[in-house]
């Protein structure tokens, strides 16, 4: 992803993601955990290669192109036979964890979230029919993203109008009894 970001070529991104969608769908899989639209602000973080870097605008444009390649352009009612549903990852602040440690809390003010971390997610939700959004593994202001009513309810659903799936790829230990 970071290499594709260096091209600044959204048409190439669409083509690459279209091939991925066609190959995945040929195997009978309709849903992928991609793309990663995290804005990266801490070079110590070990997942930079999965991202499109530090520029919120570039991350947003590449994110829109990736989703269009995976799912098809614009808003739609039905997924084409050679497309797959995309999942935006990881909402949000995942790319600026405390001390650069993966899944550490992210001490980021709301203004910083809205200016630098929300734009890629917001633009993809606004401009596409993205199928799912995955909350980040970290916590924001002491609240885990997966349980953050402000982040997922007020911002993602109410402000941006997202009506898709909120998904997780976290695995529970087999011994966990509910």
Q: Give me the helix-helix angle, 56-71 and 118-127, nearest 10°.
A: 30
Q: Which of 9, 98, 163, 169 is catalytic?
A: 169
Tell me, yes or no, if 169 is annotated catalytic.
yes
CB 105 within 8 A of CB 62: no
For 30-58, the DSSP string reads -B----B-PPP--TT-TTGGGS--S-HHH
- Distance separating alpha carbons of residues 123 and 106, to the nearest angstrom: 22
Active-site residues, by number, are 169
């Amino acid at each position: 992803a970071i290499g594709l970001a260096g091209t600044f070529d959204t048409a190439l991104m669409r083509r690459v993601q279209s091939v991925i969608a066609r190959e995945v769908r040929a195997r009978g899989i309709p849903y992928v955990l991609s793309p990663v639209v995290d804005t990266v602000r801490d070079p110590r973080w070990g997942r930079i290669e999965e991202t499109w870097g530090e520029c919120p605008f570039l991350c947003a444009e590449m994110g829109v192109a990736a989703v269009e390649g995976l799912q098809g352009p614009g808003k739609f009612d039905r997924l084409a036979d050679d497309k797959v549903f995309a999942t935006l990852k990881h909402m949000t602040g995942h790319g600026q964890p405390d001390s650069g440690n993966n899944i550490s809390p992210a001490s980021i003010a709301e203004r910083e979230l809205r200016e630098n971390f929300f734009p890629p997610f917001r633009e993809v939700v606004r401009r596409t029919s993205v199928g799912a959004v995955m909350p980040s593994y970290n916590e924001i202001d002491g609240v885990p993203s997966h349980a953050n009513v402000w982040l997922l309810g007020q911002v993602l659903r109410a402000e941006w109008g997202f009506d898709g799936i909120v998904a997780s790829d976290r695995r529970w230990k087999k011994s966990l009894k509910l």
